[in-house]
Structure 1
Amino acid sequence: MVAIGIDDIELVATHDVLELAELARVRGVDPAKYEIGLGQTRMSVPAADEDPITMGATAAARLLERTGTDGIRSLLFATETGVDQSKSGGMFIHGLLGLPKAMRVAEIKQACYAGTVALQSALGVIAREPESKVLIVMSDIAKYELEGSGEPTQGAGAVAMLVSANPALVEIEPETGIYSADVDDFWRPNDSTTAVVDGALSLSAYLDTLTGSWDDYQARGGHSVAEIDRFLYHQPFTKMARKGHRELAKHTGTELPEDVLEASFVYNRELGNTYGASIYSALISLMHHDEELAGKRIGFYSYGSGSTGEYFTGVVRDDYRDHIHTEPIQSELAARNVITFDEYVELHERVLPSGVDVENPRVTNAPYRFAGIRGGARQYEANS
C-alpha cells in the first residue's frame, strides 16, 4: 500500500500583533491570567488589508515556490471565516496564485475541524489517483466581543499543506476515530462578525469528543496510547491542549508526560487561536522545535465546535529535517508590528459593508492584500 501524507507545509501570521500583557493592563487583570492561565503571550491581529484570503494565498505561495504546481488537481480551502456565502474562498486564492485551470476548488466548513476534513478528503483522492496532489489551505480569524471572556483567546493565521503519495514529512496512517454530537458550545450567526461561545460547555464538548473519537479509533484497530510518541491537540489556547492531554491520560489509565507537548505550543503562544489551522500550526511548531521526531508516531486530535472531532496518527519520515523550512515563519513572527490597545480596538470594530465601495489602506508587506470592495465584490491584488 502506497504511503500518503503531508509532503510540505507552511505557516503565516499577520502583519500586526497585540501583546496580551497590554490587553491585561487595560482590562485590569493580572497578566498571569493570560500567560499562565491560558498559556498565551500574544495574539495576531489582521491589518486593514488582510483577511483569510490574503493569509491563505501567502501561505500557499510560499509552499508552491518550493514544490511547483505539477500534479496538483485539487485546492481545498478550509475556514470558518468565509468571505462569501456562495463563492469559495479557494477561488480567490486560485486566481491570485494563477493556478492551472484543470483543478477542482471548494471550501469546507465545520468550525475548527474543517482542515482535517480537507486532509482526509485529500487522502481519499490520492488513494484513487496516486500520481495527483492536493493543495489544502486553512485560514481563519478568531474574533470575539470586546471585553468578553473569549477576547484574550483571539488570533489569526493560515497553514498551507501539500498532500501526496510518498510524502516527505508525515505519513498519515489509515486508522481513524470519529465522534459527533450536536452541541451549542460555539457558533457565529450570519449577521454577526463575532462568535458566540459558552466556555464551560465548549470545554466539556472538547473533552467528550476527545474520548469519543479515541474510543472509536481504538475500536477500528488504532494504536495503543503507549505506541504514540508525540501528541497534538486542537489549540484554541495552549492550556486547552494540556487539559485534553490530561483527559486522555485519565481515560486510558496511562501516565502521559506533558513535556512532550511543549514544542507544539511555541507558535500558538505567539499567534493565538487560528481555528482550523491550529492543530497543523502545532505540527509545524513540533517539527521546528523537536529534533528527535524521525520515525516517531504522532497522535492528532482535531476538534470543531458544534461539535465533531477525529483522532488519527501519522509517522514522521526519517529524513523530514531535510524538508522543513523554519526561516519564513520565525522571521515573520519576529518582524510583526506591535500595535497599541487603541489600534487593536479600531481594527476589531472595523466592519466593511458589502454595498459600499471601500479602498483599504496599504499596510501589509505580505505578497497579497485585500484592496477593498468595488461594486459589492471583494478586490484582491498582489503587493507591488
Structure 2
Amino acid sequence: MNSEPVGLSDLAVFAPQSRLSIATLAAKRIQENPDLQKHLDRALATTGQQAMRFPQLWEDTITLGAEALRTLLSRKSETQRLGLRYLTMGTETSVDMSKAGSSYLQGLMAKTDFPLPANLASFQVQQACAGGSLAALTLSGSLKAFGHFGDSAVVVTSDIARYTAPSTAEVTQGAGATALWLETSPQLLEFDLDSVGLFSKDVDDFFRPLGSTTAKVRGGFSLACYHEAFLEAFADHCRRAGVSPQQELASIDAFCLHVPYAQMPVGALEKLFTIHTSYSADQIREHLTQCGFFESLVPAAQIGNLYTGSLWLSLAWSLHERSQVWGSRLAGKKYLLASYGSGNTMAVWTAKVAARAKAV
C-alpha cells in the first residue's frame, strides 16, 4: 500500500462552440405552442439555466472527449504519458454498446502528437452521471494500493444531454467533456479515500432506453431521489470519518456537487444544513456564498448538463475562483465533493487542496 496521498493533479474541460440561449429556445417553443408558456416559464425560473452548448453534426461523445483529453495530454511530458496505466471513460451516451469509448480515444490520440502507451488498462464505467466519478475513485484506490512510482491514470467524462422536443426538460440539455489526471502526490486535490460515503438504490427516476437518443426523466421524483441519496451518502461519509455531521460541515471550506441544472444542488445543500445545523435560511445562503458555492454553479448555467462531467466542470471553475479569493491560503483548504448517478447511486467524499495547487 502506497503511503503517499492520491488524487487529482490536472483537469481539462471542453465544450462545443455551438451555443443556444435558453430564452431563445423557450420563445421558439412558445411560438409553436402557446400552451407551453406557463410550463417553460416555471422551468426557467426553477432551473436557473441561461444557455446550453450542443454538438455539431460531426461531433459526438468520442470527439468531445478527445478534445478534452488532447488538451490534458498537451500539458504532460513524454515521460508522464508513458507512466499512464489506466485510461477510462465515464459516459451515459456511449456510441458503442460493446467497445469502450476509451479505446476509441486511445486510437484518436495515436493520430496526434500525444500517443498513449499500449501497456495500460482501457475500459468504460457507466452509472448515469456518476460514471466518471466512480472511475476516478476506483482508479485512485488502485494507484494507492498497487501503483508503482510514476504511475498515473486518466478519466475522461463525455456526454451529450438530449431530451424530447418539445418539453420542459429541454432547458437542461447540454454537451461537453472533461479529462482528469490522477496520480500519487497530486498537485491539485488529495482525495480522502478512507471516508468515501456511498448510497445506492434501485429507482426509475431517469433512464434512456436502448436505442433511444433522448433520456426519460421524472423531474420531481428525480429531485427527491437526489436529495435522499445525498443525505444518506453524507451520513455514511461522516460515520466512516468518525465525526458528527455538525463537525464535518464546520470543517468544509468549499462544496462541489453534481449539477444537472444550476439550482438542483442548492436545495440539497440547504436541506443538509437545515437538518444538521441551527442556521436560518438566510444564514445558510450567506455561508454558502462565503464558501463560493454559488460561483461554482456558473458554468453549468451557461453550458448545460454535462452528465458525468458536471461535478468536474463545477470543480474546475471553483478551484479557479477560490484561488483568486484565497490566494496563498488556497493550500490545505477542504472540499466536499458529491457525485450523483440516477438509477441511482451517490458518492460523497472530501479532498484537500494540495500544496502546489496554486501553480497548476
TM-score (norm 1): 0.81
Match of 1:310 in 2: 347
Supply the AA of the counterpart residue of 1:129.
G
Asked if structure 1 preserves the Cα contact closer than 8 Å seen for 2:44 and 2:171, the reply is: no
Instruction: Report the number of matched residues.
Output: 323
After TM superposition, the structure 1 = structure 2 runs for residues 188-267 of structure 1, keeping only pairs within 5 Å, are 188-221=208-241, 224-255=248-279, 256=284, 257-259=287-289, 260-267=292-299
Q: Distance in 1 between matches of 2:221 and 2:43?
A: 20
Which secondary structure state, in structure 2, belongs to the residue aligned with residue 137 of structure 1?
strand
After TM superposition, the structure 1 = structure 2 runs for residues 79-90 of structure 1, keeping only pairs within 5 Å, are 79-90=91-102
Asked if structure 2 preserves the Cα contact closer than 8 Å seen for 1:176 and 1:222, the reply is: no
Of 274, 280, 295, the match for 2:306: 274
Structure 1 residue 194, shift from structure 2 partner = 0.5
Of 26, 29, 33, the match for 1:27: 29
Match of 1:179 in 2: 199
Structure 1 residue 250, shift from structure 2 partner = 1.9
Question: Could you give the per-residue CA deviations for residues 53-98 of structure 1, whole angstroms, max 9, x where no partner exists?
Answer: 0011110111111113131011011000010010011111001002
Structure 1 residue 100, shift from structure 2 partner = 1.3
Change (3 A) 1:189 1:222: farther
Q: Distance in 2 between matches of 1:266 and 1:239?
A: 10
Asked if structure 2 preserves the Cα contact closer than 8 Å seen for 1:52 and 1:141, the reply is: yes
The structure in which a higher percent of residues are helix is 2
Structure 1 residue 27, shift from structure 2 partner = 2.5
TM-score (norm 2): 0.87
After TM superposition, the structure 1 = structure 2 runs for residues 336-347 of structure 1, keeping only pairs within 5 Å, are none
Asked if structure 2 preserves the Cα contact closer than 8 Å seen for 1:130 and 1:164, the reply is: no
Of 317, 323, 327, the match for 1:285: 317
1:129 maps onto 2:147 in alignment: yes
Asked if structure 1 preserves the Cα contact closer than 8 Å seen for 2:262 and 2:298, the reply is: no
1:40 maps onto 2:49 in alignment: yes
Asked if structure 2 preserves the Cα contact closer than 8 Å seen for 1:135 and 1:162, the reply is: yes
Q: Distance in 2 between matches of 1:50 and 1:161?
A: 21
Q: Distance in 2 between matches of 1:130 and 1:201?
A: 45
The structure in which a higher percent of residues are strand is 1
After TM superposition, the structure 1 = structure 2 runs for residues 40-189 of structure 1, keeping only pairs within 5 Å, are 40-68=49-77, 69-98=81-110, 99-127=116-144, 128-131=146-149, 132-174=151-193, 175-189=195-209
Asked if structure 1 preserves the Cα contact closer than 8 Å seen for 2:340 and 2:347, the reply is: yes
Asked if structure 1 preserves the Cα contact closer than 8 Å seen for 2:10 and 2:182, the reply is: yes
Q: Distance in 1 between matches of 2:316 and 2:148?
A: 25
Unaligned runs of 5+ in 2: 31-36, 111-115
Q: Distance in 2 between matches of 1:196 and 1:37?
A: 19
1:300 maps onto 2:337 in alignment: yes
Supply the AA of the counterpart residue of 1:273.
N
Question: Could you give the per-residue CA deviations for residues 129-149 of structure 1, whole angstroms, max 9, x where no partner exists?
Answer: 142100110000111001222
Which secondary structure state, in structure 2, belongs to the residue aligned with residue 159 of structure 1?
strand
Question: Could you give the per-residue CA deviations for residues 170-218 of structure 1, whole angstroms, max 9, x where no partner exists?
Answer: 1111211000010000000002111000001100000000011011111
Unaligned runs of 5+ in 1: 324-384
Supply the AA of the counterpart residue of 1:287.
L
Q: Distance in 1 between matches of 2:45 and 2:321?
A: 21
Which deviates more from structure 2 when the two are superposed, residues 253-262 or residues 165-174? 253-262
Q: Distance in 2 between matches of 1:288 and 1:322?
A: 11
Asked if structure 1 preserves the Cα contact closer than 8 Å seen for 2:257 and 2:339, the reply is: yes
Q: Distance in 1 between matches of 2:148 and 2:276?
A: 36
Which secondary structure state, in structure 2, belongs to the residue aligned with residue 86 of structure 1?
coil
Asked if structure 2 preserves the Cα contact closer than 8 Å seen for 1:130 and 1:165, the reply is: no
Which secondary structure state, in structure 2, belongs to the residue aligned with residue 48 of structure 1?
coil
